[in-house]
Amino acid sequence: MMQTNEHDTGTDHNGTVHSSTVHSSTVHRDTFYVDGRWVRSHSTQQVVVTNPATEGSLALVTLGDVTDVEAAVDAARLAAPGWARTPVSERAALLRAIAAELTARHEEIAQLETAEVGSPIGLSRRAHAGSPIYFFTSAADLIEQSEPDETILGATVLREPYGVVGAITPWNCPLHQSAAKIAPALAAGNTVVYKPSEVTPLGAYALTEAIDAAGLPPGVFNMVMGDGAAVGARIAGHPDVDLVSFTGSTRAGIQVATAAAATVKKVSLELGGKSPAVILPDAVLQPALEQALRSGFLNSGQTCMALTRILVDRTRLAEAEAVVREAVAAFVVGDPTDPHTDYGPLVSKAQQEHVEAYIRQGQQEGLRLLTGGPDRPAALSRGYYLPLTVFSDVPPHSALVTEEIFGPVLVIQAYDTVQDAVDLANRTPYGLCAGVWGATRSEAVEVARQLQAGQVFVNGAGFNPDVPFGGYKRSGIGREHGRYGLEEFQQVKGLVFADDGA
Protein backbone atom coordinates (compact mmCIF):
# COMPACT_ATOMS: atom_id res chain seq x y z
CA MET A 1 0.00 0.00 0.00
CA MET A 2 1.30 3.42 -0.92
CA GLN A 3 0.73 6.06 1.70
CA THR A 4 2.24 9.34 2.74
CA ASN A 5 2.21 11.14 6.04
CA GLU A 6 1.28 14.35 4.26
CA HIS A 7 -2.20 13.44 2.99
CA ASP A 8 -5.51 14.19 4.66
CA THR A 9 -8.23 12.63 2.55
CA GLY A 10 -11.12 13.73 4.73
CA THR A 11 -12.46 10.17 4.99
CA ASP A 12 -12.39 7.38 7.49
CA HIS A 13 -10.94 3.94 6.74
CA ASN A 14 -14.15 2.89 5.00
CA GLY A 15 -14.23 5.91 2.74
CA THR A 16 -17.12 7.62 4.54
CA VAL A 17 -17.05 11.41 4.35
CA HIS A 18 -16.49 13.12 7.67
CA SER A 19 -14.95 16.17 9.41
CA SER A 20 -16.22 18.81 6.98
CA THR A 21 -19.72 20.08 6.35
CA VAL A 22 -20.61 19.63 2.69
CA HIS A 23 -22.52 22.79 1.77
CA SER A 24 -25.15 22.96 -0.94
CA SER A 25 -22.77 25.12 -3.00
CA THR A 26 -20.00 22.52 -2.86
CA VAL A 27 -18.87 21.24 -6.26
CA HIS A 28 -19.41 17.51 -6.84
CA ARG A 29 -17.00 15.65 -9.14
CA ASP A 30 -17.64 11.94 -9.75
CA THR A 31 -16.24 11.38 -13.25
CA PHE A 32 -12.84 10.54 -14.68
CA TYR A 33 -11.37 10.95 -18.15
CA VAL A 34 -10.85 7.63 -19.95
CA ASP A 35 -10.52 6.94 -23.69
CA GLY A 36 -11.45 10.49 -24.64
CA ARG A 37 -14.67 10.54 -22.58
CA TRP A 38 -15.81 11.55 -19.10
CA VAL A 39 -16.92 8.38 -17.32
CA ARG A 40 -18.35 7.72 -13.87
CA SER A 41 -16.32 6.08 -11.16
CA HIS A 42 -16.91 2.45 -10.21
CA SER A 43 -16.31 3.40 -6.57
CA THR A 44 -18.51 5.15 -4.01
CA GLN A 45 -15.63 6.34 -1.82
CA GLN A 46 -15.62 10.11 -1.51
CA VAL A 47 -13.38 12.83 -0.10
CA VAL A 48 -14.14 16.38 0.90
CA VAL A 49 -11.76 18.98 -0.53
CA THR A 50 -11.30 21.77 2.00
CA ASN A 51 -10.09 25.34 1.62
CA PRO A 52 -7.16 25.38 4.07
CA ALA A 53 -7.48 29.12 4.72
CA THR A 54 -11.17 29.08 5.63
CA GLU A 55 -11.71 25.40 6.56
CA GLY A 56 -14.82 25.46 4.36
CA SER A 57 -15.63 22.71 1.87
CA LEU A 58 -14.77 23.29 -1.78
CA ALA A 59 -15.74 20.01 -3.40
CA LEU A 60 -16.92 16.49 -2.87
CA VAL A 61 -14.90 14.16 -5.08
CA THR A 62 -15.51 10.48 -5.78
CA LEU A 63 -12.36 8.37 -5.86
CA GLY A 64 -11.64 5.58 -8.30
CA ASP A 65 -10.71 1.96 -7.78
CA VAL A 66 -8.75 -0.73 -9.59
CA THR A 67 -11.58 -1.22 -12.10
CA ASP A 68 -11.19 2.39 -13.18
CA VAL A 69 -7.43 1.90 -13.49
CA GLU A 70 -7.93 -1.16 -15.69
CA ALA A 71 -10.15 0.82 -18.07
CA ALA A 72 -7.66 3.68 -18.25
CA VAL A 73 -4.67 1.41 -18.87
CA ASP A 74 -6.57 -0.57 -21.50
CA ALA A 75 -7.40 2.66 -23.34
CA ALA A 76 -3.81 3.90 -23.11
CA ARG A 77 -2.43 0.56 -24.32
CA LEU A 78 -4.78 0.51 -27.31
CA ALA A 79 -3.88 4.08 -28.26
CA ALA A 80 -0.12 3.71 -27.77
CA PRO A 81 0.93 2.39 -31.22
CA GLY A 82 -0.99 5.06 -33.12
CA TRP A 83 0.26 7.91 -30.92
CA ALA A 84 3.85 6.68 -31.25
CA ARG A 85 3.48 6.81 -35.05
CA THR A 86 1.91 10.27 -35.01
CA PRO A 87 4.29 12.73 -36.68
CA VAL A 88 6.27 14.91 -34.32
CA SER A 89 4.77 18.04 -35.86
CA GLU A 90 1.24 16.87 -35.03
CA ARG A 91 2.15 15.93 -31.46
CA ALA A 92 3.81 19.31 -30.98
CA ALA A 93 0.78 21.14 -32.36
CA LEU A 94 -1.50 19.37 -29.89
CA LEU A 95 0.81 20.22 -26.99
CA ARG A 96 0.69 23.87 -28.02
CA ALA A 97 -3.09 23.64 -28.18
CA ILE A 98 -3.10 22.43 -24.56
CA ALA A 99 -0.85 25.35 -23.62
CA ALA A 100 -3.30 27.73 -25.33
CA GLU A 101 -6.22 26.27 -23.37
CA LEU A 102 -4.28 26.68 -20.12
CA THR A 103 -3.37 30.24 -21.04
CA ALA A 104 -7.02 31.09 -21.59
CA ARG A 105 -7.84 29.72 -18.12
CA HIS A 106 -4.73 31.05 -16.36
CA GLU A 107 -6.43 33.30 -13.78
CA GLU A 108 -9.21 30.80 -13.13
CA ILE A 109 -6.65 28.07 -12.42
CA ALA A 110 -4.57 30.35 -10.21
CA GLN A 111 -7.60 31.21 -8.09
CA LEU A 112 -8.56 27.54 -7.92
CA GLU A 113 -5.12 26.48 -6.71
CA THR A 114 -5.03 29.23 -4.09
CA ALA A 115 -8.35 27.90 -2.82
CA GLU A 116 -7.38 24.23 -2.63
CA VAL A 117 -3.63 24.42 -1.84
CA GLY A 118 -3.58 27.64 0.17
CA SER A 119 -0.72 29.14 -1.83
CA PRO A 120 -0.54 32.94 -2.05
CA ILE A 121 -2.16 34.16 -5.25
CA GLY A 122 1.12 35.48 -6.66
CA LEU A 123 2.73 32.06 -6.31
CA SER A 124 -0.33 30.40 -7.81
CA ARG A 125 -0.17 32.66 -10.85
CA ARG A 126 3.54 31.98 -11.38
CA ALA A 127 3.92 28.32 -10.48
CA HIS A 128 0.58 26.54 -10.24
CA ALA A 129 -0.98 28.19 -13.29
CA GLY A 130 2.05 29.56 -15.15
CA SER A 131 4.46 26.60 -15.11
CA PRO A 132 2.15 24.16 -16.92
CA ILE A 133 1.86 26.54 -19.85
CA TYR A 134 5.63 26.68 -20.09
CA PHE A 135 6.10 22.91 -19.77
CA PHE A 136 3.67 22.08 -22.58
CA THR A 137 5.15 24.75 -24.87
CA SER A 138 8.71 23.71 -24.03
CA ALA A 139 7.97 20.03 -24.63
CA ALA A 140 6.61 20.88 -28.08
CA ASP A 141 9.74 22.87 -28.90
CA LEU A 142 12.08 20.18 -27.57
CA ILE A 143 10.55 17.30 -29.50
CA GLU A 144 10.65 19.30 -32.72
CA GLN A 145 14.27 20.27 -32.15
CA SER A 146 15.48 16.83 -31.03
CA GLU A 147 17.46 14.54 -33.28
CA PRO A 148 15.59 11.21 -33.36
CA ASP A 149 18.46 9.19 -34.84
CA GLU A 150 22.15 9.06 -33.97
CA THR A 151 24.94 7.37 -35.91
CA ILE A 152 27.71 5.55 -34.03
CA LEU A 153 30.42 3.80 -36.08
CA GLY A 154 28.05 2.62 -38.77
CA ALA A 155 25.20 1.79 -36.37
CA THR A 156 22.05 3.83 -35.80
CA VAL A 157 20.60 4.64 -32.39
CA LEU A 158 16.87 5.38 -32.28
CA ARG A 159 14.89 7.09 -29.53
CA GLU A 160 11.46 5.58 -29.04
CA PRO A 161 8.61 5.97 -26.55
CA TYR A 162 8.20 3.42 -23.77
CA GLY A 163 4.48 2.94 -24.38
CA VAL A 164 2.14 3.59 -21.45
CA VAL A 165 3.32 6.01 -18.75
CA GLY A 166 1.79 6.12 -15.29
CA ALA A 167 2.10 9.66 -13.85
CA ILE A 168 1.46 9.94 -10.09
CA THR A 169 1.67 13.44 -8.68
CA PRO A 170 1.55 15.19 -5.26
CA TRP A 171 -0.63 17.89 -3.71
CA ASN A 172 1.90 20.61 -2.97
CA CYS A 173 2.52 21.90 -6.52
CA PRO A 174 -0.21 19.96 -8.30
CA LEU A 175 -0.19 21.28 -11.85
CA HIS A 176 3.51 22.16 -11.96
CA GLN A 177 4.41 18.57 -11.12
CA SER A 178 1.71 17.12 -13.36
CA ALA A 179 2.69 19.09 -16.45
CA ALA A 180 6.37 18.31 -15.88
CA LYS A 181 5.50 14.65 -16.41
CA ILE A 182 2.57 14.67 -18.82
CA ALA A 183 3.96 17.14 -21.36
CA PRO A 184 7.30 15.38 -22.10
CA ALA A 185 5.68 11.95 -21.89
CA LEU A 186 3.17 12.90 -24.59
CA ALA A 187 5.82 14.72 -26.63
CA ALA A 188 7.98 11.60 -26.70
CA GLY A 189 5.07 9.56 -28.07
CA ASN A 190 3.86 7.83 -24.91
CA THR A 191 0.26 7.57 -23.78
CA VAL A 192 -0.51 8.56 -20.19
CA VAL A 193 -2.52 7.32 -17.21
CA TYR A 194 -2.56 10.17 -14.71
CA LYS A 195 -3.33 9.91 -11.00
CA PRO A 196 -3.30 13.30 -9.29
CA SER A 197 -3.46 13.74 -5.54
CA GLU A 198 -6.88 13.32 -4.01
CA VAL A 199 -6.01 16.11 -1.57
CA THR A 200 -5.90 18.78 -4.30
CA PRO A 201 -7.92 17.33 -7.20
CA LEU A 202 -9.62 20.42 -8.60
CA GLY A 203 -6.63 21.70 -10.56
CA ALA A 204 -6.26 18.24 -12.09
CA TYR A 205 -9.80 18.46 -13.40
CA ALA A 206 -9.02 21.86 -14.94
CA LEU A 207 -5.88 20.45 -16.57
CA THR A 208 -7.79 17.45 -17.89
CA GLU A 209 -10.51 19.72 -19.31
CA ALA A 210 -7.81 21.71 -21.13
CA ILE A 211 -6.31 18.53 -22.56
CA ASP A 212 -9.76 17.33 -23.63
CA ALA A 213 -10.47 20.65 -25.34
CA ALA A 214 -7.20 20.41 -27.28
CA GLY A 215 -8.48 17.29 -29.03
CA LEU A 216 -5.95 14.52 -28.42
CA PRO A 217 -6.91 11.15 -29.90
CA PRO A 218 -8.97 8.96 -27.52
CA GLY A 219 -6.86 6.98 -25.03
CA VAL A 220 -3.73 9.08 -25.40
CA PHE A 221 -4.39 10.81 -22.08
CA ASN A 222 -6.43 9.34 -19.23
CA MET A 223 -7.08 10.60 -15.69
CA VAL A 224 -8.23 8.54 -12.71
CA MET A 225 -8.67 10.13 -9.30
CA GLY A 226 -7.81 7.98 -6.30
CA ASP A 227 -5.62 7.33 -3.33
CA GLY A 228 -2.17 5.78 -3.34
CA ALA A 229 -3.14 2.59 -1.57
CA ALA A 230 -5.53 1.43 -4.31
CA VAL A 231 -5.24 3.45 -7.50
CA GLY A 232 -1.57 4.45 -7.23
CA ALA A 233 -0.44 0.95 -6.31
CA ARG A 234 -2.34 -0.60 -9.22
CA ILE A 235 -0.87 1.85 -11.72
CA ALA A 236 2.64 1.20 -10.42
CA GLY A 237 2.26 -2.57 -10.53
CA HIS A 238 0.17 -2.91 -13.70
CA PRO A 239 1.88 -5.14 -16.28
CA ASP A 240 0.67 -2.93 -19.16
CA VAL A 241 2.21 0.23 -17.69
CA ASP A 242 5.73 0.53 -19.09
CA LEU A 243 7.09 3.44 -17.02
CA VAL A 244 6.01 5.04 -13.75
CA SER A 245 6.92 8.63 -12.96
CA PHE A 246 6.19 9.52 -9.32
CA THR A 247 6.66 12.61 -7.19
CA GLY A 248 6.08 12.44 -3.45
CA SER A 249 7.63 11.42 -0.17
CA THR A 250 10.61 9.07 -0.06
CA ARG A 251 8.58 6.51 1.87
CA ALA A 252 5.84 6.48 -0.77
CA GLY A 253 8.48 6.39 -3.53
CA ILE A 254 9.92 3.21 -2.07
CA GLN A 255 6.43 1.69 -2.15
CA VAL A 256 5.99 2.72 -5.79
CA ALA A 257 9.33 1.17 -6.74
CA THR A 258 8.46 -2.01 -4.86
CA ALA A 259 5.09 -2.30 -6.61
CA ALA A 260 6.75 -1.70 -9.99
CA ALA A 261 9.57 -4.18 -9.46
CA ALA A 262 7.48 -7.27 -10.19
CA THR A 263 7.02 -6.16 -13.80
CA VAL A 264 10.57 -4.77 -14.19
CA LYS A 265 9.36 -1.44 -15.52
CA LYS A 266 11.32 1.80 -15.50
CA VAL A 267 10.65 3.97 -12.46
CA SER A 268 11.41 7.68 -12.22
CA LEU A 269 11.19 9.07 -8.69
CA GLU A 270 11.34 12.69 -7.52
CA LEU A 271 11.24 12.39 -3.75
CA GLY A 272 12.00 14.22 -0.54
CA GLY A 273 14.64 16.75 0.37
CA LYS A 274 16.40 18.32 3.31
CA SER A 275 18.32 20.87 1.36
CA PRO A 276 21.14 22.99 2.81
CA ALA A 277 21.77 26.69 2.29
CA VAL A 278 25.54 27.06 2.73
CA ILE A 279 26.55 30.67 3.45
CA LEU A 280 30.32 30.85 3.21
CA PRO A 281 32.33 32.99 5.67
CA ASP A 282 32.96 35.91 3.30
CA ALA A 283 29.46 36.06 1.76
CA VAL A 284 27.31 39.14 2.29
CA LEU A 285 25.12 37.82 5.07
CA GLN A 286 21.82 39.67 4.94
CA PRO A 287 20.78 39.08 1.29
CA ALA A 288 21.97 35.48 1.48
CA LEU A 289 19.88 34.81 4.58
CA GLU A 290 16.81 36.55 3.17
CA GLN A 291 17.02 34.50 -0.03
CA ALA A 292 17.51 31.28 1.95
CA LEU A 293 14.51 32.07 4.14
CA ARG A 294 12.28 32.76 1.16
CA SER A 295 13.29 29.43 -0.35
CA GLY A 296 12.75 27.54 2.88
CA PHE A 297 9.32 29.04 3.54
CA LEU A 298 8.11 28.92 -0.09
CA ASN A 299 4.58 27.53 -0.30
CA SER A 300 4.57 27.48 3.54
CA GLY A 301 7.57 25.13 3.45
CA GLN A 302 5.64 22.56 1.41
CA THR A 303 8.18 22.13 -1.38
CA CYS A 304 10.67 19.32 -1.80
CA MET A 305 13.36 21.75 -2.97
CA ALA A 306 13.06 24.07 0.05
CA LEU A 307 16.37 25.15 1.60
CA THR A 308 15.46 24.11 5.13
CA ARG A 309 18.94 23.98 6.74
CA ILE A 310 20.86 27.27 6.91
CA LEU A 311 24.59 26.77 7.50
CA VAL A 312 26.56 29.78 8.76
CA ASP A 313 30.06 30.37 10.09
CA ARG A 314 30.03 30.00 13.86
CA THR A 315 31.72 33.38 14.33
CA ARG A 316 28.74 35.00 12.57
CA LEU A 317 25.99 32.99 14.26
CA ALA A 318 24.73 35.82 16.49
CA GLU A 319 24.74 38.22 13.55
CA ALA A 320 22.84 35.68 11.44
CA GLU A 321 20.25 35.15 14.15
CA ALA A 322 19.57 38.89 14.35
CA VAL A 323 19.07 39.09 10.58
CA VAL A 324 16.74 36.09 10.62
CA ARG A 325 14.58 37.52 13.41
CA GLU A 326 14.20 40.80 11.56
CA ALA A 327 13.52 39.19 8.18
CA VAL A 328 10.93 36.73 9.50
CA ALA A 329 9.12 39.50 11.38
CA ALA A 330 8.65 41.34 8.07
CA PHE A 331 7.01 38.39 6.28
CA VAL A 332 3.21 38.40 6.10
CA VAL A 333 1.38 35.18 6.95
CA GLY A 334 -2.32 35.37 6.20
CA ASP A 335 -5.08 35.30 3.60
CA PRO A 336 -3.63 33.73 0.44
CA THR A 337 -6.01 35.67 -1.79
CA ASP A 338 -4.45 38.95 -0.60
CA PRO A 339 -1.63 39.93 -2.99
CA HIS A 340 0.35 41.31 -0.03
CA THR A 341 0.48 37.92 1.70
CA ASP A 342 3.83 36.14 1.59
CA TYR A 343 2.78 32.80 3.07
CA GLY A 344 -0.56 31.05 3.49
CA PRO A 345 -1.77 28.04 5.47
CA LEU A 346 -0.68 24.44 5.28
CA VAL A 347 -2.73 22.28 2.96
CA SER A 348 -4.72 20.35 5.56
CA LYS A 349 -5.42 19.86 9.24
CA ALA A 350 -3.39 16.64 9.14
CA GLN A 351 -0.40 18.45 7.67
CA GLN A 352 -0.72 21.23 10.24
CA GLU A 353 -0.69 18.68 13.07
CA HIS A 354 2.21 16.80 11.47
CA VAL A 355 4.38 19.92 11.31
CA GLU A 356 3.28 21.14 14.75
CA ALA A 357 4.50 17.84 16.21
CA TYR A 358 8.00 18.52 14.85
CA ILE A 359 8.05 21.97 16.43
CA ARG A 360 7.06 20.51 19.79
CA GLN A 361 9.69 17.81 19.36
CA GLY A 362 12.31 20.50 18.82
CA GLN A 363 11.21 22.18 22.02
CA GLN A 364 11.36 18.86 23.88
CA GLU A 365 14.89 18.33 22.57
CA GLY A 366 15.81 21.66 24.15
CA LEU A 367 16.59 23.34 20.83
CA ARG A 368 16.81 27.12 20.84
CA LEU A 369 13.64 28.57 19.30
CA LEU A 370 14.56 31.73 17.41
CA THR A 371 11.16 32.59 15.90
CA GLY A 372 7.69 31.06 15.73
CA GLY A 373 6.38 28.09 17.65
CA PRO A 374 3.68 25.40 17.57
CA ASP A 375 0.58 27.58 17.93
CA ARG A 376 -1.48 29.19 15.20
CA PRO A 377 -0.78 32.94 14.90
CA ALA A 378 -3.11 34.85 17.21
CA ALA A 379 -4.32 37.14 14.43
CA LEU A 380 -5.72 34.18 12.46
CA SER A 381 -8.83 32.64 14.01
CA ARG A 382 -9.28 29.90 11.44
CA GLY A 383 -7.29 28.06 8.81
CA TYR A 384 -4.46 25.54 8.98
CA TYR A 385 -1.80 28.11 9.79
CA LEU A 386 1.47 27.85 11.69
CA PRO A 387 3.96 30.64 12.36
CA LEU A 388 7.22 30.78 10.43
CA THR A 389 9.55 28.89 12.77
CA VAL A 390 13.34 28.82 13.02
CA PHE A 391 15.47 26.90 15.51
CA SER A 392 19.13 27.90 15.88
CA ASP A 393 22.40 26.10 16.55
CA VAL A 394 20.73 22.74 15.96
CA PRO A 395 22.96 19.64 16.26
CA PRO A 396 23.24 17.34 13.22
CA HIS A 397 21.61 14.39 14.96
CA SER A 398 18.32 16.22 15.60
CA ALA A 399 15.24 14.97 13.75
CA LEU A 400 14.68 18.56 12.64
CA VAL A 401 17.94 18.27 10.69
CA THR A 402 17.66 14.73 9.35
CA GLU A 403 13.94 14.42 8.49
CA GLU A 404 11.85 16.22 5.90
CA ILE A 405 9.21 18.22 7.79
CA PHE A 406 7.38 19.76 4.82
CA GLY A 407 6.27 22.87 6.61
CA PRO A 408 7.50 26.34 7.64
CA VAL A 409 10.20 25.05 10.00
CA LEU A 410 13.88 25.83 9.34
CA VAL A 411 17.06 25.21 11.29
CA ILE A 412 20.32 27.13 11.54
CA GLN A 413 23.50 25.09 11.90
CA ALA A 414 26.88 26.57 12.77
CA TYR A 415 30.10 25.33 11.16
CA ASP A 416 33.76 25.94 12.03
CA THR A 417 35.47 25.46 8.64
CA VAL A 418 34.33 25.32 5.03
CA GLN A 419 35.05 21.59 4.98
CA ASP A 420 32.89 21.27 8.07
CA ALA A 421 30.11 23.09 6.21
CA VAL A 422 30.39 20.66 3.28
CA ASP A 423 30.28 17.69 5.63
CA LEU A 424 27.21 19.04 7.44
CA ALA A 425 25.50 19.81 4.14
CA ASN A 426 25.98 16.24 2.94
CA ARG A 427 25.08 14.63 6.27
CA THR A 428 21.50 13.59 5.48
CA PRO A 429 20.03 10.77 3.41
CA TYR A 430 18.67 13.35 0.97
CA GLY A 431 20.30 15.11 -1.96
CA LEU A 432 17.73 17.02 -3.99
CA CYS A 433 18.83 20.66 -3.91
CA ALA A 434 21.26 23.02 -2.20
CA GLY A 435 22.23 26.66 -2.21
CA VAL A 436 25.68 28.21 -1.86
CA TRP A 437 26.55 31.86 -1.27
CA GLY A 438 30.13 33.08 -1.53
CA ALA A 439 32.03 36.32 -1.95
CA THR A 440 32.71 35.28 -5.56
CA ARG A 441 31.13 32.85 -8.00
CA SER A 442 34.30 30.76 -8.21
CA GLU A 443 34.39 30.38 -4.43
CA ALA A 444 30.75 29.29 -4.34
CA VAL A 445 31.17 26.90 -7.29
CA GLU A 446 34.13 25.20 -5.62
CA VAL A 447 31.84 24.29 -2.71
CA ALA A 448 28.85 23.54 -4.93
CA ARG A 449 30.84 20.86 -6.74
CA GLN A 450 31.33 19.05 -3.43
CA LEU A 451 27.66 18.94 -2.49
CA GLN A 452 25.68 15.75 -3.00
CA ALA A 453 22.66 17.34 -4.63
CA GLY A 454 21.03 17.20 -8.03
CA GLN A 455 20.69 20.97 -8.35
CA VAL A 456 22.62 23.75 -6.59
CA PHE A 457 21.60 27.42 -6.63
CA VAL A 458 24.69 29.63 -6.65
CA ASN A 459 24.67 33.10 -5.10
CA GLY A 460 20.90 33.44 -5.01
CA ALA A 461 20.07 32.04 -8.44
CA GLY A 462 16.39 31.18 -8.92
CA PHE A 463 14.60 28.15 -10.29
CA ASN A 464 15.32 27.37 -13.95
CA PRO A 465 12.72 25.10 -15.64
CA ASP A 466 15.14 24.05 -18.39
CA VAL A 467 17.81 22.68 -16.03
CA PRO A 468 17.61 18.98 -15.07
CA PHE A 469 15.87 18.50 -11.73
CA GLY A 470 16.19 15.41 -9.57
CA GLY A 471 18.00 13.96 -6.63
CA TYR A 472 21.01 12.15 -5.33
CA LYS A 473 20.70 9.45 -2.68
CA ARG A 474 17.16 9.00 -1.30
CA SER A 475 15.87 12.05 -3.10
CA GLY A 476 15.11 10.03 -6.18
CA ILE A 477 16.00 8.45 -9.49
CA GLY A 478 15.91 10.20 -12.86
CA ARG A 479 15.55 13.81 -13.95
CA GLU A 480 12.73 16.15 -14.94
CA HIS A 481 12.55 19.38 -16.98
CA GLY A 482 14.12 20.40 -20.26
CA ARG A 483 15.95 18.01 -22.57
CA TYR A 484 16.80 15.64 -19.75
CA GLY A 485 13.14 15.46 -18.75
CA LEU A 486 12.15 14.58 -22.32
CA GLU A 487 14.82 11.88 -22.55
CA GLU A 488 13.46 10.30 -19.35
CA PHE A 489 10.45 9.19 -21.42
CA GLN A 490 12.48 7.85 -24.37
CA GLN A 491 14.20 4.49 -24.63
CA VAL A 492 17.03 3.84 -27.03
CA LYS A 493 17.34 1.11 -29.65
CA GLY A 494 20.53 0.28 -31.50
CA LEU A 495 20.42 -0.85 -35.13
CA VAL A 496 23.69 -2.58 -36.00
CA PHE A 497 24.33 -3.19 -39.70
CA ALA A 498 26.36 -5.80 -41.52
CA ASP A 499 29.35 -4.64 -43.57
CA ASP A 500 27.85 -5.74 -46.90
CA GLY A 501 25.42 -2.84 -46.94
CA ALA A 502 22.55 -5.08 -48.05
Q: What is the predicted pLDDT for the residue at 154? A: 85
Q: Express each pLDDT in 210-241 by its tens digit.
A: 999 999 999 999 999 999 999 999 999 999 99
Model confidence at 23, pLDDT cuts 50, 70, 90, reads low
Model confidence at 18, pLDDT cuts 50, 70, 90, reads very low
Active-site residue identified among 304, 356, 443, 487: 304
Q: Reduce the DSSP state of residue 76 to 3 states and report it.
A: helix
Is-contact 298 123, C-beta < 8 A?
yes
Does residue 493 surpass a pLDDT of 80?
yes
Does residue 311 surpass a pLDDT of 80?
yes
Does residue 4 surpass a pLDDT of 80?
no
Q: Express each pLDDT in 362-404 by its tens digit.
A: 999 999 999 999 999 989 999 999 999 999 999 999 999 999 9
Q: Supply the mean pLDDT for the chain.
A: 94
Model confidence at 16, pLDDT cuts 50, 70, 90, reads very low
Give the dihedral sign, CA 328/334/336/340: negative
Active-site residue identified among 101, 113, 198, 270: 270
Task: Report the pLDDT averaged over residues 131-137.
Answer: 98
Q: What is the predicted pLDDT for the residue at 9? A: 28
Model confidence at 502, pLDDT cuts 50, 70, 90, reads low
Is the pTM for the entire model greater than 0.85?
yes
Q: Express each pLDDT in 47-99 by its tens digit.
A: 999 999 999 999 999 999 999 999 999 999 999 999 999 999 999 999 999 99
Model confidence at 13, pLDDT cuts 50, 70, 90, reads very low
Q: What is the predicted pLDDT for the residue at 329? A: 97
Structural domains in the chain? 27-271+477-491 (3.40.605.10), 275-465 (3.40.309.10)
Is 270 in the active site?
A: yes
Is-contact 405 430, C-beta < 8 A?
no
Is 304 in the active site?
A: yes
Q: What is the predicted pLDDT for the residue at 12? A: 32
Does residue 25 surpass a pLDDT of 90?
no
**Integer angstrom CA distances of residue 193 from 7, 52, 69:** 21, 28, 8
Q: What is the predicted pLDDT for the residue at 144? A: 96
Where does 104-186 show beta strands of DSSP type E?
Answer: 149-152, 155-161, 164-168
CA 272 to CA 472: how far, in whole Å? 10
